Structure formats: structure tokens, C-alpha cells
């Protein structure tokens, strides 16, 4: 696959050259990193300065510096001087970065519903338009109907091969890392998308992959990593293992109800990625909402008033 040095303008989509890693691969490479995701979590809640992230996260100076530089290079942050005498800089979310709010809302909603042991650390989401606390519901932007995985048909588009969708490794990731839940982190979400191969395997499951060899061959992942991730997903209750009708020693892995409930996170990630990274050949993934027959675009609505959510109408507040 060809490699290029890309320019990521923060206020307009990045144009990807032919043969480059596609929108899915770039998005998973960026968001599928535990530290980047956590830095974004606090940025959405107002963090801008280096010291704020150091105070909130058990992160080293070197790792935080690298992640802030990478997020800035990718057009998610803008580095702005706020003190000139002894130069000091802060990192402000750009339009591209602010546009990640649906992904964070979808993650918080899934944690609230499926990981009760972490509910106490979740922020409170208030819809300013109706004044109510809310949980987001994934709907079709064309017809406004709620959407579940089985309601969507489609798959790879013009730039969507397994090879080009493999997560772009932009950072060094730690294996087997654990976090202190007192820091307000979410180990189960991290287990699903906080590692590039975990995110790829989960995405493969939503694309219809079920068998070990399919995950290994289609994703190009090392077999030891595939085995470890599949085992971890079963332990989390996201996958269920069943014997294969072909051979009992070839188990199949299927999404459980808990796994399928993660669908809004996956779809908001894909939606963000394909808005901000555009391949010359066309989109990486193409989906149709079967109920209305139109191209599917993710939209979140308020479960209290059913109005579409807008970033400037959502207040994210610390838990009481």
C-alpha cells in the first residue's frame, strides 16, 4: 500500500490519495488509542491546557506530549499561545475535534446501560433544548427512525478493502494495560476500541465475520492477538462462542445483545471518519437503511424529547 505525508486541515476534510489507508483505518488509528481517546474525553469537557490533562490522567509527560502533538497534526486540536512572556500554549478543539462529540455521547450511553460498576463516574448529559437529562438514541438522519444493526445493509465501498481499513498505527500502544477506575476511566470501552486490533475485530464482527480464521485472514492480524482479543470479548460478554456446524473444534463468535448495543459507537465513529477523511475513489463503507431505502447517516436524538441532538445544545456535567 502506498504511503504519503498528509496534510490534515482542521476546518475541512482531508483528501486521501488513491491507494492510501482509508477513512476507517485512519479513524481507528486515531481514536483506537487509549490515551488519545481519554485526552479527547477531557477535551470535550473543557480541558485545554497540559496541566489539566496531567491532573486528570495517570499519564507520563512523554506520552501526553506525543499524543497532543499527534492530535494537533491530525487536525483535531489547534495549538494556540495564551502567554507570550514565558511562552505557554493550550490545545483547543477544532471544528474537526468538536465534531467528535457524538462518539463520546455514544460511549457514555453504552457505559451507563451495560457497565453499571462505572456509572458513578459518568458525566450527566443534559439536553439544553428540553432541559432534561438524556441518553442518545441512534437514528437514520433521512427518516428519523431508530436504527439497530439488523436495520442496516451494505459494506465496503470504492475505497473499502480489508487491507486499506486496517488501523493506521500512529502511536505506540501498550498491551495488557489497566487503569485505575478512580481516574474516571472506562476499562470495558477501552477493551473494545482503546486498542487498534480490538476495534478492528469488533468492526469485523459488525461486518459479518464470525470465525477465528476469518478475523485473522481478513484483518491481517497476528493469530496470537486475534485469540487474545476473542477471549477477552467473550469474557466481557460482548461475544458469545458457539460450536461450528462444520467442525466442533472451529467455534464461531457472535455479537451478544451487549455487543450489538455498542453499534451506535461504531456508527458514529464511521460517520465522523468518512466526513473528515475522503478517499479519491469514494467512501470506504456504504450503508443503506433498509426501512427507508436511503443512504444511512448516523444521527443521535434525545430520548426525552426525541429532537435531534446538536453539539451546542448538549451540556456535559460532572456527576453529582
Q: Say whether pLDDT at 120 is over 80.
A: no
CB atoms inside a 10 Å sphere around CB 58: 11
> Which domains does the chain carry?
19-317 (1.10.10.10)
- pLDDT for position 169: 59
- pLDDT for position 151: 96
- In whole numbers, what is the pLDDT of the chain averaged over residues? 87
To 10 degrees, what angle do helices 23-31 and 263-276 make?
Answer: 120
- pLDDT for position 300: 97
Whole-number Å distance between alpha carbons of 27 and 40: 14
Q: Say whether pLDDT at 227 is over 80.
A: yes
Question: 64-68, 76-80, 164-168, 204-208: which range is least confident on average?
Answer: 164-168
Among candidate residues 152, 150, 131, 149, the one with its CA nearest the CA of residue 302: 131
pTM equals: 0.88
Range 285-312 average pLDDT: 95
148 to each of 196, 200, 236, 262, 293, how far by Cα in Å?
A: 24, 20, 21, 10, 15
- pLDDT for position 182: 40
Question: 143-147, 189-193, 291-295, 299-303: which range is least confident on average?
Answer: 189-193
Range 119-141 average pLDDT: 88
- pLDDT for position 290: 96
- Write out pLDDT tens, residues 73-98: 999 999 998 777 778 889 999 999 99
Amino acid at each position: 500500500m502506498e504511503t504519503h505525508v498528509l496534510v490534515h486541515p482542521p476546518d475541512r476534510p482531508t483528501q486521501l490519495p488513491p491507494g492510501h489507508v482509508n477513512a476507517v483505518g485512519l479513524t481507528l488509528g486515531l481514536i483506537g488509542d487509549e490515551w488519545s481517546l481519554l485526552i479527547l474525553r477531557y477535551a470535550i469537557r473543557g480541558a485545554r491546557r497540559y496541566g489539566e490533562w496531567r491532573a486528570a490522567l495517570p499519564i507520563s509527560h512523554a506520552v501526553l506530549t506525543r499524543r497532543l502533538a499527534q492530535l494537533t497534526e491530525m487536525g483535531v486540536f489547534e495549538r494556540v499561545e495564551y502567554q507570550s512572556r514565558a511562552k505557554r500554549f493550550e490545545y483547543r478543539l477544532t471544528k474537526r475535534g468538536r465534531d467528535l462529540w457524538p462518539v463520546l455521547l455514544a460511549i457514555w450511553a453504552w457505559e451507563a446501560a451495560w457497565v453499571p460498576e462505572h456509572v458513578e463516574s459518568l458525566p450527566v448529559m443534559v439536553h439544553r433544548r428540553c432541559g432534561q437529562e438524556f441518553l442518545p438514541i441512534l437514528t437514520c438522519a433521512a427518516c428519523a427512525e431508530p436504527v439497530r444493526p439488523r436495520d442496516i445493509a451494505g459494506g465496503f465501498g470504492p475505497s473499502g478493502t480489508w487491507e486499506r481499513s486496517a488501523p493506521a498505527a500512529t502511536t505506540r500502544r501498550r498491551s495488557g494495560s489497566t487503569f485505575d477506575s478512580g481516574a474516571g476511566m472506562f476499562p470495558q470501552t477501552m477493551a473494545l476500541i482503546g486498542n487498534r486490533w480490538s476495534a478492528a475485530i469488533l468492526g469485523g464482527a459488525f461486518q459479518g465475520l464470525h470465525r477465528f480464521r476469518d478475523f485473522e485472514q481478513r484483518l491481517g492480524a497476528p493469530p496470537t492477538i486475534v485469540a487474545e482479543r476473542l477471549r477477552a470479548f467473550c469474557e466481557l460478554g460482548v461475544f458469545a462462542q458457539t460450536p461450528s456446524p462444520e467442525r466442533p473444534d472451529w467455534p464461531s463468535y457472535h455479537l451478544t445483545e451487549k455487543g450489538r448495543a455498542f453499534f451506535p459507537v461504531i456508527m458514529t465513529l464511521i460517520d465522523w471518519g468518512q466526513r473528515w477523511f475522503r478517499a479519491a475513489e469514494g467512501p470506504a463503507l456504504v450503508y443503506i437503511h433498509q426501512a427507508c431505502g436511503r443512504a444511512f447517516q448516523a444521527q443521535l436524538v434525545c430520548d426525552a424529547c426525541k429532537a435531534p441532538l446538536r453539539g451546542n445544545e448538549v451540556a456535559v456535567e460532572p456527576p453529582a
